[in-house]
Structure formats: C-alpha cells, structure tokens
Structure 1
Amino acid sequence: MVTLSARGTNWEVLKPILFQSIGQTLQMVLVTLVVGGFLGLILGVVLYGTRPGNLLENAVVYRILDTLVNIIRPIPFIIFLAAMQPLTIAVVGTSIGTTAAMFPMIIMCTVATSRLVEQNLVPVDAGIIEAARAMGASRLTIIRTVLIPEALAPLILAYAFLFIGVLDMSAMAGYIGGGGLGNFAIAYGYQKFDSVVTWTAVIIMIILVQVVQGIANALAKRILKRQR
C-alpha cells in the first residue's frame, strides 16, 4: 500500500489523479461558462432592455429580474451549493459529483453574467441606438447588430473576469465531491499535509487564469482598434 506524506510526494500515484482533476476542472468551467454565459447574456440583455427608457422598457419585468439577481448574487457559493442540494437532486438525480456541481454553478454563473452584461451595455451611446431605430431596424436587430457589437470589447473582458469566478466555484465544488483541482488540493494536499500538492494545484489555476486573461486582453484590444 502506497502512503503519501509531507516527506515525499509520490507523483507516480498522483500524476494520473492530477490530470484527471485538471480535466474535471476544465469540464466544469467550460460547460458552466458556455451554458451560464449564454443564458446570462440573454438575461443581461433583458435586464438592460427593460430598464426605463430602453428598447424593451417594462418596469414590472425589470424589478422582478433585478430583485431575483440581487437575491442570488450575494450568496457565498459554498452556501449556495448546500441550499441548492434538494433542487440539484431533483434535476440531476444526485448531489455528489462533477455533474451535480455544474448545476448550481450554471445558475450562479447565469446570475453573475447577467449583471456584468447589463453593466457593460449601459454605457453604450444611446444616440447610436436611436439612429438605428430611426432607420427602421427592429429591436432584435438593434440588439444583435448594434448594442452587443458596440459593447463587445468590455464584454470580452467581463467574461474573462467571469472565468476567474467560475474557476473559483469549481474549486469549492470539491467539497461536495465535484472533483477538479480544488478537490485534488484538499484531499491530497491539505488533508495529507503535503504543501507541494497544494501549490501544484494553485500554480495550475494561476496559469489557466493568466492564459485566459491574456487572450481576452488581446481580443479586446483588437476589437477596440477596429472600432476606432
């Protein structure tokens, strides 16, 4: 039987577990960003559009959605995981594992994205939107061809920021057996008093964040140059 201790990290045993954990983290993060990011984009556009004086002005809808977002968004994710357990079991069939972790992650990501999208759409020049309306463009066309393209650069940076938040959520998902680098760091690093394992997970997360942020910065810079 192989034992692990702070005296020596047995990478022969840990290497396949580490690669599996990286895969689980990427799975959780990418699925959450794609699904939650898309739903959050829609919700954010609706939030922006239903604000007073905007394309889809509707005070009742805006107040309901705004209140819902304000209720969910401040909840610490570790508490949100526990609170969502009954609904997660009803939808997914279990509250343990990577799939079970992704369900509350997607909900939280949707809410967080919606607010980021709304905040980045608000500064868009109202004159451009009015010009499009004067030309007879439909609301959907204005949103698709004017509103979102005008805010594309800051939206890309917002999604890069969101990536960090989702990566953080994936780490906390380790507490419910969600797997990933968070679970790897806790189970094989913290609980085994092996700082090498813990810092390996930390460094990999830092590298992931740096890569995504670098790509986002480059894309945003390129888009801003084109808009000028």
Structure 2
Amino acid sequence: MTGALTTIGFDADDTLWQNESFYRVSQDIYFSLLAEHEDRAVLQRHLMAAKRRNLGLYGFGIKGATLSMLEAAISVTQARVPASVIAQILAAGQEQLRHPVELLPHAREVVEHLAADFTLVLITKGDLFDQERKLAESGLSHLFQAVEIVSDKSRATYEAAFARHGDGPSRAMMVGNSMKSDVRPALEAGAWGVFVPHALTWEHEQADAPEGHARFHELPDLGALPALVDAVDR
C-alpha cells in the first residue's frame, strides 16, 4: 500500500447485496392488504410520510420500515385496520429479516481482489442485528478489516472511520449506491467518492451528483472498480 490510496470503504445494502428489492416486496404486500381502503398513490404517500417521520426514532432498516407500515395502516384506515392485516404486515417484515443474502454481480470477486492490497472497511446504515446477519451470510466478512454499522452517514462519519481504520480520508475511497449517504459526505471528508447506481434506490437516498469534483467517479457496476482503483493509486 504505497500509492495514493490505502483504504476502501464499501456500503452494504444495494452495493454488495440486494436489499431494496425485498423492501418493495413487503410494500407490495402492504398495498394489496389495504387496497380496499385507498388507492395505491394515497397508500404510498401515507407510508413515505411515516417512514420519514420515524427515521429519527427507529433509524434505517426493516424493523423501522415495518413499524412505519403498521402506523400508516392504522392512519389510513382511521384505526379500523383488522388484526389479521396487522399480522400479515408483521409477517412480511419478519420474512424480510430471514431472507437469504443475494450478492450483487461482481461483489465477491472485486472485494476478494481488493482485499489483497488495501484495508477494506464496511460502512453501512441499518439495524445492527440484521446487518450483522447479512454480513455473516454473505461470506465476505473475513475480507473486511473493520465494520462500522452506523445510524446515519455524514462527513464526520467518514472522517472518523477512515482515521480509525486507515490513514485518514485523503487516502481513502468510499464506494456505494447512495449519492446522498455514500458519495457526497465522503467527498466532503476529503475521500474519493465512487457512485455505483442500483436499479432500485429509495428516494430518500437520492441527491444531485457532484459534477466536476476531482474525486468523484461513477461506475456502471462493481466490475469496473479495480481498474478505477489502479488509476487512482498510481
């Protein structure tokens, strides 16, 4: 590790493995269960409002999303939602917590390749138990020298993580599918920020690209990351 780069941070959900697609399945179940009460657009608005309102209480993750679905169901039905529907919403959330991990294309080979020459740090938001479970089931845990499961991601998050586990942000790179959480705050901290878009990204995680920033890069998929790392590390 004698080049410009010594440390690479990876986001987890929808960067290394599928996540949002499973949320969408749970939401579709929610919409179908409440279809007789309101149309989908109204149900969607109630649910998104509840999720945003509850981020400060529950944080990110399926447990908070499930509680928000229950709250929205009570709200949209004016507290007349049947207990059987409540039970099915809970079951959908529990099923997601048990869902097998599905790695995204190139994730395993890219992480294995980079682990040979760089300090790899997993930096992810979400429920502690669920993220630990997914990492263990992914088969990638032994390739990361450190794991940071955080409540949110900010400039301070990356400054602290890359100072603890590397040579500081200036010699670090953050890779993720969220412009808002993975790229922009990492760039603000002084790291490289690499955006690898996912077909499904929650609207809360969307933000404008920092066009023209010298340390910003966008890749079509993780398979292109080793070549970028080689170019940056010269």
TM-score, structure 2 length as denominator? 0.28
Where is the helix percentage greater, Structure 1 or Structure 2?
Answer: 1
TM-score, structure 1 length as denominator? 0.29
